Homo-oligomer: A and B are copies of this chain.
Amino acid sequence: MVDVKSMANPLFLREEELRQGIEMLFFAYRDFTGEPDAILAEIDLGRAHHRVIYFVGRNPRITVTDLLKILKITKQSLSRVLSQLVNEGYIDQTTDQGDRRKKLLTLTEKGVDLEHRLTENQRKRIARAYKAAGAEAVQGFREVLRGIIDPNDQERFEIVTPTMPVQRRGKG
């Protein structure tokens, strides 16, 4: 009887483990976002611009409203960075011909280039971590992280069944 709490809870939901989860998220996010900032600073842009460029790149022809839903910021706040990105030729705005109230946002070639430069570090960081941990750990990583996200946005990350079926232990 070394650890009463863990005996009582087979999923190890001890305070300590939960706190480590909190902290790992903090450290991971801190380090994850740290690197692109140097590149951004050189061209007088900030982290907010990065987020916009990223999600426009990921969702070509996205509307302003939909972008706001992803970022969960106000339109006034978005406006500041978005208009800058349009003015400086990173993003194109076109009117939706089906609904002419909507403006569709797309990265220009210049925008795509910047996006790649910015996320290169992040992709490498993730790739390194994935490789070190192994495919099975990646699957667990995805499942837990998905569970942390608000239900609304969880759909974005359907659990992908691996190409080569992996036997799962526990409730499979």
Chain A residues engaging chain B, CB cutoff 8 angstroms:
3, 6, 10-13, 15, 17-32, 34, 51, 54, 58, 72, 119, 122-123, 125-150, 153, 156-157, 160, 162-164, 166, 168-171
Contacts and interface: CB of A to CB of B under 8 A. Distances in A.
Nearest to A72: B30
A21 B130 contact: yes
Contact of A145 (B11, B141, B168): B141
Which A-B residue pairs are the 5 nearest by beta carbons? A140-B140, A129-B147, A137-B140, A141-B144, A133-B143
B27 A123 contact: no
A30 to B, nearest CB: 6
A163 B20 CA distance: 17
16 contacts: A6-B163, A10-B164, A11-B131, A11-B135, A17-B160, A22-B123, A28-B148, A31-B153, A129-B145, A129-B146, A134-B143, A136-B168, A137-B139, A138-B144, A140-B144, A141-B143
Contacts of A31: 148-150, 153
A145 B12 contact: no
A79 to B, nearest CB: 20
B18 A138 contact: no
Contacts of A30: 72
Contacts of A129: 144-148
A23 B58 contact: yes
A153 B29 CA distance: 12
Most chain B beta-carbon contacts within 10 A, residue among A134, A139, A149: A149
A137 B22 CA distance: 16
A43 to B, nearest CB: 20
